Structure 1
Amino acid sequence: MNPDDPRAQRTRARLREAALTLAADADPGTLGVAAIARTAGVNRATVYAHYRDADELLTDAMEDALSQAARAAAVCPLDAPPDRAPAPIRDLFEHVAANAALYRKMLGPQGSPRFAARMRERMTEELTTRFTRGERPSGPTDTPADLHAAYLAGALTGLIAHWTANTPALPAGRAADTAWRLVVGASTVG
C-alpha cells in the first residue's frame, strides 16, 4: 500500500479520528481494532492494512501531541528565568490542559505504554540534538547529552502523567511554572 495515496491518507485520517473519539470515552488499553473499525466505517482488515494494533493506531493519532511536546522541549530558551516557564512549555501545558481527559487516559495505568514511551523518545531525541549542539542547560558536564536528555524527557512525561491524573489539577500556567522550576533545578544538580 502506498502511504502517499490520497485514499490511504483519508482512511488513516478516519481511523485516527475514530480512535481518538473512542479513547475519549474508554480506557485506551481496552480499545480493540473491531470497535475502531466499526466507528470508522471500515472492516478490521482495513485497520490491519495500516496498523499492527490499536495501540499503534492510538499512538499515531496522538502524533500531533507528541510533536508539540518534542518541539516544546527543543525550543525552550536556556536563559529563561527559573520562576516563569518559557512560552513553549506554557503552550505545551495549555495544550495538555485542553486535552486533559485524553492525556489522563493515554498516560494512565490502563493507557498506552507505546504512547508514553514514544513521548519520552521524541523529547529525548529533540533534547539530545540540542544538547549535542552545545545548547545545554548548566549542570553536570560529565553526563552524556543523551542521558541528560532522557532524564529530562522522562521527568516531563511523568510530570504530565501525574498532573493530568490528579483532579483538580493545578492550572496550566502554574503547572508549567512548576515543571520549569523542576527542569531548571534538575539541570543544576551535580
Structure 2
Amino acid sequence: MSKKMDPRVVRTRQMLRDALVELMHERGYENTTVQDITNRATLNRATFYLHYRDKFDLLYQSSEETLHDLTKSINLSFDEKEEFDFLSDEPHEIFIHLFEQISQNSRLYKVFLTEKNMPHFTSCVMDVLVDFISKGMNSVQPDDQMLTVPREIAVRYFAAAFLGVIVWWLEKDMPYTPKYMATQLMRIAIKGPYVDKSFYH
C-alpha cells in the first residue's frame, strides 16, 4: 500500500503547478523560468528543487498526475453486468465524470490542451476518449457488419470530434454544465445532429 503524501507537500506541489499553469497561459512555456514559477508561487528556489529537477520535470509530473486523476475518476473499466441504455437521452455516468474532472481542473486542461509543446498530453486525453467511445460503441452495436464505416475509423472520428468540442468548451469558459456537455455529445454520436432524418431516404 502506497504511503499517503504529506498534506504540506501536496499543497506545495499544487502551488507550483498552479503557478506554472498561470504563467504558461500568460506567456507560454518557453518564456517561463523556474524563478518566475517560484516568484508566482511565493516559494523559494530551494523548495522548488526539493520536488522537481527543473521546469520540464514540473510540467511532466503535473501532466502525468492530471491524466492519472482523469483515468481514475471516470473508471474506464465498464462493468460487464451493468445494463445501460445508450439510446436514451441520459449520458453515461462515466462520461459525466470525465467532464466533471476536466471542469475541476479547467485552467490546467485549457492550457495543456492548447500549448504547442504538449502533444503528449493531448494524445493521452485522446486515448482516454478512444477507450470510452470504443466500449460505448461495443455496447450499442458489437457487430461490425451493422456499422456504415470500419469501427476504428468511427472511434477515431468521434474521439477527435469530442476533443475538439472539449477544447472549445474550455476556451469559452465552460458555458454549459458537465452533464449538459456529456448529454449533447452522446446524443450527437448516437442519433446525429438532425431532428428530421427524412432527407436520408
Tell me the TM-score range normalised by the shorter chain. 0.5 to 0.7
Q: Work out whether 1:58 is the aligned partner of 2:65.
A: no
Whole-angstrom distance in 2 between the partners of 1:120 and 1:70: 14
Q: What is the SS of the residue equivalent to 1:27?
A: helix
**Closer/same/farther in 2, CA of residues 150 and 103 from structure 1, 3 Å limit:** same
**Closer/same/farther in 2, CA of residues 156 and 32 from structure 1, 3 Å limit:** farther
Whole-angstrom distance in 2 between the partners of 1:127 and 1:178: 14
Instruction: Give the Å deviation of 1:165.
Output: 0.8
Q: Work out whether 1:96 is the aligned partner of 2:102.
A: yes
- Which structure 1 residue ranges, 4+ long, deviate > 6 Å from structure 2? none
Aligned residues between the structures: 176
Report the identity percentage.
Answer: 16
Match of 2:147 among 117, 140, 143: 140
**Closer/same/farther in 2, CA of residues 86 and 168 from structure 1, 3 Å limit:** closer
Amino acid at match of 1:64: H
Contact between 1:93 and 1:175, CA under 8 Å: does it hold in 2? Answer: yes
Q: Structure 1-normalised TM-score?
A: 0.64
Aligned to 1:22: 19
Amino acid at match of 2:52: V
Aligned to 1:67: 71
Contact between 2:162 and 2:185, CA under 8 Å: does it hold in 1? Answer: yes
Structure 1 unaligned blocks of 5 or more: none
Contact between 1:93 and 1:172, CA under 8 Å: does it hold in 2? Answer: yes
Whole-angstrom distance in 2 between the partners of 1:96 and 1:87: 14
**Closer/same/farther in 2, CA of residues 14 and 5 from structure 1, 3 Å limit:** farther
Amino acid at match of 2:62: L
Contact between 2:113 and 2:122, CA under 8 Å: does it hold in 1? Answer: yes
**Closer/same/farther in 2, CA of residues 32 and 70 from structure 1, 3 Å limit:** farther
Match of 1:170 among 156, 171, 176: 176
Contact between 2:130 and 2:156, CA under 8 Å: does it hold in 1? Answer: yes
RMSD over equivalenced CA pairs, Å: 4.2
Q: How does 1:173-188 map to 2 (within 5 A)?
A: 173-185=179-191
Whole-angstrom distance in 2 between the partners of 1:102 and 1:113: 14
Structure 2 unaligned blocks of 5 or more: 193-201
Whole-angstrom distance in 2 between the partners of 1:65 and 1:156: 19
